[in-house]
Amino acid sequence: MSSVARARAPDTPKGGVQPECPQEPARFFARHFAQWSGLSLADVSRAVLACRHYWATLEHFLDFRNDPGMPAASLSKLDRRLARERDKAIRRLEPIIEAGLVARQGKRMMIHGSRATPAHRVPADWLAWETIELCMATLGVEAHGLSVCQLCTVVFRVRRGSSAHHCEVCAKRAKTSLPARGARPRRTSQLVARTARSHA
Ligand SMILES: [Zn+2]
């Protein structure tokens, strides 16, 4: 297929601007993508590779963006490459995200405990979702249709016009009383909040 051939063609900018290209899927991401989607490690490896290529290019882009000696033409070439790699990573990650959401619809992933629990003590499904969420955040994509409630961790169907962040029950509860800081289960947000306070 010509599209496959194009995807495999080497496509590195000339003139020393050559992003590092990871050739192996990272085991950590492959494990969690497989856990989330129910697919085999081999089946998720192309998605992991696409994400790694995107991250490597993103890192170069961020370095070069702050370099005053970087020619504008090279930067815009890198920008276009980044956009292509982002599209490819999203295309490969989407079926993995969807398979996991569909399989868990109506289920809560964290039955007890706080999301501030160390990684090795949380359910494998939850850790897999957090890894997926991290990838979605760096790619700038949000779940639609099905989503995971940030408070009770249930996988729910997002109703038109309502939040993708909270299930109906938690959204109602949040309207009457804001959750206590300790009850907020997003580990990442807690880290951000703590950092923000320490810099205040
Ligand atoms: Zn909820």
Distance 44 CA to ligand 1 centre (A): 29
Average pLDDT, the chain: 81
- Residue 180 sits at φ, ψ, to 5 deg, of -60, 150
The encoded tokens of residue 117 equal 């629990």
Strands (E), the chain: 146-148, 155-157
Task: Note the pLDDT of residue 25.
Answer: 73
Distance 119 CA to ligand 1 centre (A): 21
Task: Note the pLDDT of residue 21.
Answer: 62
Distance 173 CA to ligand 1 centre (A): 9
Span 167-193, average pLDDT: 63
Q: Is 154 helix (H, G, I), strand (E, B) or coil?
A: strand
Distance 48 CA to ligand 1 centre (A): 29
- What pTM did the predictor assign? 0.74
Task: Note the pLDDT of residue 111.
Answer: 79
Task: Note the pLDDT of residue 55.
Answer: 96
Distance 108 CA to ligand 1 centre (A): 9
Pair 43, 93: CB distance under 8 Å = no
The encoded tokens of residue 136 equal 């979605």
15 torsion bin: left (phi>0), alpha (psi -120 to 50), beta (else): left
Distance 159 CA to ligand 1 centre (A): 14
pLDDT at residue 144 is higher than 50: yes
